[in-house]
């Protein structure tokens, strides 16, 4: 099973970096605020960040008291930035695919992943691998694109508008056909994987996790004031966030 490394594609990397450098984007306004509300106390804890990208979350974990943070990413370019912008003696960056994490040493109190699991084909195996890396009473907290977004085979789920141009509904398809999706995002052929909501939850349960919280983030008032496009989130959610515990 090969893993696509699209973040090392120059055109993709430039487009994505520009998006993330904006003060207002779906991460800063919607996904990250929801993830932060679900973070456990990290004082003296160890954290594994899967698909850590430029390492900004790794630094925040250290700032919140974490004793050790390991950031894993398949992309050399993303880790280059991480080592430049987000280095700290408590953080170690590892350039590998998260499909290979069973070879990592040690265990973690929190396994965290922000918007990377929809790039992984075999989610059951990933959950099993993560479970064996989590300390008892430790957590897995992750966000991914919502299954309503990943569903449509050509990536072209779309809004429908009324006569005044107001968005009123969202059309998607292929929901119950899990598997590979090729979408255009800066470049053609970006590969993501669609899983149904039930397949996601069942994979976590099969691995042994107990689900503590599921969140389909709704925009906060302060965020909608800054970015009215977030009203679209009341038509369909963009993200799925799960917090699960190993008991």
Ligand X SMILES: C[S@@+](CC[C@H](N)C(=O)[O-])C[C@H]1O[C@@H](n2cnc3c(N)ncnc32)[C@H](O)[C@@H]1O
Footprint of ligand X (CB under 6 A): 3, 7, 51-53, 56, 72-75, 78, 97-99, 114-116, 119-120
C-alpha to C-alpha distance for 56 and 93, rounded to whole angstroms:
12
Strands 134-145 and 239-245: antiparallel
Residue placing its CB nearer to ligand X in the complex, 116 or 134: 116
Cα-based distances in Å from 48 to 12, 62, 94, 201: 25, 12, 10, 21
Residue placing its CB nearer to ligand X in the complex, 98 or 230: 98
Cα-based distances in Å from 11 to 7, 57, 59, 224: 9, 24, 27, 30
Closest approach of ligand X to the CB of residue 112, in Å: 8
Residue placing its CB nearer to ligand X in the complex, 97 or 152: 97
Residue placing its CB nearer to ligand X in the complex, 162 or 188: 188
Q: 126: part of which helix (H) or strand (E)?
A: helix 123-133
Closest approach of ligand X to the CB of residue 164, in Å: 34
C-alpha to C-alpha distance for 117 and 173, rounded to whole angstroms:
21
Q: Which residue is nearest to ligand X (CB)?
A: 53
Residue placing its CB nearer to ligand X in the complex, 95 or 135: 95
Closest approach of ligand X to the CB of residue 75, in Å: 3
C-alpha to C-alpha distance for 42 and 26, rounded to whole angstroms:
25
Closest approach of ligand X to the CB of residue 89, in Å: 21
Closest approach of ligand X to the CB of residue 92, in Å: 15
Question: If we measure between CA atoms, which residue out of 228, 237, 218 comes closest to residue 37?
Answer: 218
Cα-based distances in Å from 193 to 170, 189, 213, 234: 20, 12, 23, 24
């Amino acid at each position: 099973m090969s893993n696509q490394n699209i973040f090392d594609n120059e055109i993709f990397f430039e487009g994505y970096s520009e998006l993330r450098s904006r003060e207002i984007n779906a991460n800063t306004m919607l996904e990250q605020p929801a993830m932060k509300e679900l973070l456990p106390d990290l004082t003296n804890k160890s954290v594994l960040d899967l698909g850590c990208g430029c390492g900004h979350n790794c630094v925040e974990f250290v700032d919140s008291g974490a004793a050790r943070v390991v950031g894993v990413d398949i992309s050399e370019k993303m880790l280059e930035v991480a080592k430049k912008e987000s280095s700290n003696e408590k953080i170690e960056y590892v350039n590998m695919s998260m499909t290979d994490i069973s070879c990592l040493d040690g265990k973690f109190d929190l396994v965290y992943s922000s918007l990377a699991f929809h790039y992984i084909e075999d989610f059951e195996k990933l959950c099993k691998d993560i479970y064996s890396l989590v300390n008892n009473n430790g957590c897995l907290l992750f966000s991914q694109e919502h299954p309503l977004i990943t569903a449509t085979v050509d990536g072209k789920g779309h809004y429908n508008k009324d006569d005044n141009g107001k968005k009123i509904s969202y059309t998607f398809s292929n929901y119950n056909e899990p598997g590979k999706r090729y979408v255009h995002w800066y470049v053609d052929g970006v590969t993501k994987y669609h899983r149904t909501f039930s397949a996601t939850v069942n994979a976590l349960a099969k691995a042994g996790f107990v689900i503590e919280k599921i969140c389909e983030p709704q925009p906060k008032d302060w965020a909608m004031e800054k970015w009215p496009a977030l009203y679209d989130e009341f038509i369909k959610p963009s993200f799925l966030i799960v917090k699960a515990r190993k008991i």
